[in-house]
Amino acid sequence: MANILIVEDELFINELIKKNMSLVGHKCISAFDGREALAFIDQHSFDLILLDVMLPGLDGFDVFERIDGIPTIFLTAKNSLTDRVKGLNMGADDYLTKPFEMIELLARVDAVLRRTRKENESFELDNVKIQFDSRQIFVDDKIIECTPREYELLEVLVKNRNIALSREKLLELAWGYDYDGDTRTVDVHIQRLRKKLGLEKHIKTVYKLGYRLEVQA
């Protein structure tokens, strides 16, 4: 996974982002102002920076001008068209305004990392391996045939591992925003994935909510 610098001066938001990024396997360092961020950038190697704009001392746009090619997502309450265009024209990889859903941020982080990192992305859990580029699933090195929807559901669980996802959210992410089906469809597909891949102990049912893929960090 990725090394991520979180530059956010609000403690609660910074900790919330760090917790969720860590749950899906990223390694994070927190900075709370622009100058602290630049000091960390000098000391460490980062795959991605999540950068607030309104920071004490040195604002996010100033920090970004001093970053040498590190992929960056602006994460800010500055939501005017002028600010969004400015951020993207400066060369940022994305611009997300507050308030936001954490799942959307995780998806945008994944999208930037897919574009900017050259290695093939894969995920392994026990004897199960997923190749994201080819959308293939292996158990004990043998390809397991899954429907496109089963694959997409599994990928959503993996990308948001250790996070409880409601059935409605899984429908939205794996089936698409315009899906109008019954949430029991999710239950059926989860049972198939558990059986095909032997992931009964990892795909947990979250009481009265939905499901969570539990993976040891």
Would you state the pLDDT for residue 164? 94
Pick from 56, 2, 47, 51: nearest CA to 30: 51
> Residue 123: how many CB atoms within 10 A of its CB?
18
Q: Are residues 77 and 136 in the same domain?
A: no
Instruction: For 35-45, write each residue's pLDDT tens digit.
Output: 999 999 999 99
End-to-end CA distance of the chain: 11
Q: 83 with 76: CB under 8 angstroms?
A: yes
Say whether both 101 and 160 belong to one domain: no
Q: Which residues of the chain have pLDDT under 50?
A: none
Question: Residue 120: what pLDDT?
Answer: 54
Positive/negative CA dihedral, 71, 75, 78, 79: positive
| Type of residue at 123 | F
Task: Quickly list DSSP for 152-196.
Answer: HHHHHHHHTTTS-EEHHHHIIIII-TT----THHHHHHHHHHHHH
Q: Give the predicted TM-score (pTM) of the model.
A: 0.77
Residue 180: which domain range? 121-213
Nearest to 67 by CA among 85, 93, 86, 102: 93
* pLDDT at site 125: 94
DSSP-assigned letter for residue 124:
E
Q: What pLDDT, on a 0 to 100 scale, did the predictor assign at position 1?
A: 80
Residues 114 and 128 in one domain: no
AA letter at 152: E
| CATH code of the domain in which 63 resides | 3.40.50.2300
pLDDT tens digits along 30-77: 999 999 999 999 999 999 999 999 999 899 999 999 988 899 999 999
Q: What is the pLDDT of residue 114?
A: 85
Domain total for the chain? 2
